[in-house]
Amino acid sequence: MKTVLITGCSSGYGLETARHFLARGWRVIATMRAPRPGILPAHEHLRVLPLDVTSGPSIAAALDAAGPLDALVNNAGIGLVGALEATPLSKARQVFETNTLGVIAMTQAVVPGFRARRSGVIVNVTSSVTLAPMPLTSVYTASKMAIEGFTGSLEHELRAFDVRVKLVEPGYGPTTRFAQNTDIRLEDVIPAPYAGFAQPILAAFAQPALVTTEADVAEAVWRAANDESGQLRFPAGADALALVANRG
């Protein structure tokens, strides 16, 4: 039986991905910063562990408790929407600490074991903001674009050791929260000069024409984790697939 560790399982894509792998016969290590009782049904092949991807000791403790892994899914992330000039650098650093450095730290921690066994897969979850420019998401986009480049380079680096590296690029869904896990208020990062510009964009966020579901992302992560064709990118959701098609 294979074992997967998934970060960011307290809600949304991570929670559904944990359910998806569990239903398909994998042993699942579902991690989150503050585990909540009952968030996932009790199961003999499920463990819920605390993990803060921005903390080295927390990463070490979680991986020690998890034991040998066959797959790592780097899903944990926080969002940020707003005009760049109104975005505090402290918030930008917070986004990069989780979305970028957290992914790098988790990956660095599992690579030695994967390399030694010459097996394993790392799936990094980014966003459809990497597929086309989107306004009011510059810092968030930068944090996710960094992981796109990181993943592409790492795939070449680890291929020689039979370790696979994949990208899942979810679109935007009703459950997406660009400000999730931060204490920033939208009104603080959309100053008055930007109000007219931002209003139709925020309205489009509220009522997207095409959406991505949690099940879309879970299925894309599943396909990526089990893919041996060499495919790197797995867009997830109708809107992400449309962006890929329009990009040519």
Q: Annotated catalytic sites, by residue?
A: 140
Instruction: Assign 164 to helix, strand or coil.
Output: strand
How far is C-alpha 137 from the chain's CA centre? 16
Structure token digits, residue 166 = 């994949």
Q: How far apart, in whole angstroms, are the C-alpha atoms of residue 19 and residue 113?
A: 25
Instruction: Assign 5 to helix, strand or coil.
Output: strand
Helix (H) or strand (E) holding 74: strand 71-74
Burial 87-113 (b: 16+ CB within 10 A, else e): beeebbebbbbbbbebbbbbbebbbee
Q: Dump the DSSP string for 95-163.
A: HHIIIIIHHHHHHHHHHHHHHHHT--EEEEE--GGGTS--TT-HHHHHHHHHHHHHHHHHHHHHHTTT-
CA neighbor of 1 nearest in space, from 71, 65, 50, 59: 71
Q: How far apart, in whole angstroms, are the C-alpha atoms of residue 167 and residue 221?
A: 8
The CA–CA distances, whole Å, from 107 to 74, 112, 185 equal 8, 9, 31
